[in-house]
Amino acid sequence: MICQFYLTLRCNVECEFCDVWSNPSYQKEEKYQEAPTEKILIVLENVRERGVEELHITGGEPLLYEKLGLFLEKAKKIGLKTSLSTNCLLYPDRAEEIKGLLDTLYFSLDYPFAEEHNRSRGRPLFNKVIKSIETATRLKENAVIFYTLTRDSVLYLPEMVEFCDKFNINCYLNPVYDFSGTQGFEKATLDSIRYFAKRKNVFIHPAVLEFIKNRGNNIARPRCRAAETVITVLPSGRFASPCFFNQAGREGKEDICVSCMRWPYMLPSFAVGFDRYRFLDWLYRRQKK
């Protein structure tokens, strides 16, 4: 079981594909407001007691959370494996403070070129990503480029692989969450992704490609197992189930679940059940060991 911990919904960039920074309900609704850190640390203990072994910290931009160091120290103390996604704007300044407290740092990068990445993120972030890579390398942190693939950005896959080679950093391929964003990708695109994924420093879960090919979650026969495999915590410390995007509905069966490919929920889902996704998940985990 893993935990998706939405530490804060504050954000310091304006990405074109995300509404966290602009959605008024995230600013107004009580459940999205940040609880005092003391309460959040108790929630973290509770999460661990429920059998969670892996903690992924997300948001918003988690590096905006002032007491992140304290939160991570607690997470390590109670034996959690930790990872965090960041847009890199603040990482170079806060890297020392959180050094050694994260098993994996995911640095978001949408394009291997400054102009395109800065446009996609609404802020001049490209150089911050490079500075973050250099900082993480100096501090011997395990950082990974988190490359979101759309029908547009996937065209730059060879250049992105080259970029990662140049900086000697691993690249995790993350197709966008919804089928309309990928429109399934052409067969040739999927073949190209598979080709580059053979590289030592490029990673994609094989079940992801299979799931895209099959048009994501089918609400008539849902593959989503978010409720069984993921605990979602909101900034207020409240739990959301089955997932952040569908907080009161049936798992995998609501309108929002049509063709859903929200990987933070789907990847853990593939680890249960008896089908080809489960088999591919088993294979992937075996290879990773």
- Residue 18 sits in the site that holds ligand SF4 (CB under 6 A): no
- Residue 217 sits in the site that holds ligand SF4 (CB under 6 A): yes
Q: Are strands 2-8 and 202-203 parallel, antiparallel or unpaired?
A: unpaired
> CB of residue 249 vs ligand SF4: minimum separation in angstroms?
7
Cα 64 from Cα 156, distance rounded (Å)? 30
Stretch that binds ligand SF4, among 40-48, 111-119, 128-136, 260-268 (CB under 6 A): 260-268
- Among 144, 226, 240, 280, which residue interacts with ligand SF4 (rule: CB under 6 A)? 226
- Residue 257 sits in the site that holds ligand SF4 (CB under 6 A): yes
> CB of residue 116 vs ligand SF4: minimum separation in angstroms?
28
- Residue 132 sits in the site that holds ligand SF4 (CB under 6 A): no
- Residue 245 sits in the site that holds ligand SF4 (CB under 6 A): yes
Stretch that binds ligand SF4, among 15-23, 26-34, 137-145, 248-256 (CB under 6 A): 248-256
Q: Render the burial of 266-279: b for 16+ CB within 10 Å, e for the rest.
A: bbbbbbeeeeebbe
Whether the CB-CB separation of 116 and 74 falls below 8 Å is answered with: no
Stretch that binds ligand SF4, among 118-126, 131-139, 244-252, 276-284 (CB under 6 A): 244-252
Which chain residues interact with ligand SF4 by CB under 6 A?
Answer: 217, 224, 226, 242-243, 245-246, 251-252, 254, 256-257, 260, 262, 265
